[in-house]
Amino acid sequence: MFRIAAFYRFVELDTFADLRDPLHRVCRENDVVGTVLLAPEGINGTIAGSEDGVVAVLDHIRSVDPRLAEIDVKFSESLEAPFVRLKIRLKKEIVSLGVGAVDTVRSTGQRVPPEDWNSLISDPNIVLIDARNDYEVAVGTFDGAINPATRSFTQFPQWIASRPELADKPRIAMFCTGGIRCEKASAYLKDQGFEDVYQLDGGILRYLETVPEEDSSWNGECYVFDRRVSVGHGLVPGDKEICVNCNRVLGDDDRSRNGYIEGVSCPACADSITESRRARFAERQHQIELARKRGTSHLGSTTHH
């Protein structure tokens, strides 16, 4: 069983570059893998390993700089390794909105705990916005949420500016996977003159972990950026996979249609995939299946649920 920790914290982190090597060493010593971003505006990452290993890494992050003592962490589990390697990167931003500096330390929307979220979004005067990208929204979202249909988070400000119904600065509630994009987007909206801005504290992941399914306003699953692809209520891994050729999210319906070839193509791209890619993916899938028969893991494998 792998313990997974998704975490972030917006904080003025002028010494961010000095944190990389010690953090890399602690992760290696504890067999923890995943991706961590360090930037002047804070830290953002998802890591996986044994429970003790993950705790050791989080304890290190909290202790190495007092400004990181209160990182926001969401835990989940997986039977299979969600990551295959460790990446610790220095960036200009831990999440890019594409508008330059945004004060995410002093001016953000009001955090709403999961247990109060249903009551908030049932208010007819609330405009509910899904701050994620279109391919994520397609996997699942909240009842009544607006989909900005963005391909990347940097398109979000342009979408806000293009919506005439937002010109009067209505009350807005936003949500995203773990809370980090909403926190930055809410700070941007505050800069733009919106006064009543709310964000789901801990994001969809904490909502699915906290709110019983029978009381939930969530439909579908939640896309996650690791080999699980999606999770449902209770953060149980879902039934999705990613097409290796076109990166579409696939479910059972897609796998039952013509054009789906495991590890090669899906119904949406089967007619357009090049022969060289088809051959390369087919050989990789063959090696994955051989590894399965041997009871070993292939680094290029995808996870099916």
3 state DSSP class of 10: strand
Residue 127 has a pLDDT of 97
Residue 47 has a pLDDT of 97
Residue 304 has a pLDDT of 35
Domains and CATH numbers, the chain: 2-90 (3.30.70.100), 110-222 (3.40.250.10), 242-305 (no CATH)
* Residues 41 and 94 sit within 8 Å (Cβ to Cβ): yes
Is 176 one of the annotated active-site residues of the chain?
Answer: yes
The pair of three-digit structure tokens given for residue 110, joined into one six-digit string:
């009001």
Residue 297 has a pLDDT of 55
* Residues 145 and 129 sit within 8 Å (Cβ to Cβ): yes
d(CA 32, CA 23): 11
Residues contacting residue 171 through CB under 8 Å, at least 6 positions apart: 123, 125, 126, 127, 196, 197, 198
H helix intervals, 138-261: 156-162, 180-191, 203-210, 252-255
Residues of the chain short of pLDDT 70, as ranges, are 295-305
CA-nearest of 212, 185, 217, 214 to 198 is 185
pTM for this entry: 0.85
Residue 201 has a pLDDT of 95
* Residues 266 and 244 sit within 8 Å (Cβ to Cβ): no
Residue 222 has a pLDDT of 96
Tell me, rounded to whole angstroms, the distance of Cα 59 from its chain centroid. Answer: 22
Residue 59 has a pLDDT of 97
Of 27, 176, 222, 243, which residue is the catalytic one?
A: 176
d(CA 115, CA 295): 43
3-state secondary structure 74-106: EEEEECCCCCCCEEEEECCCCCCCCCCCCCCCC
The DSSP output letter for 134 is H
Residue 91 has a pLDDT of 95
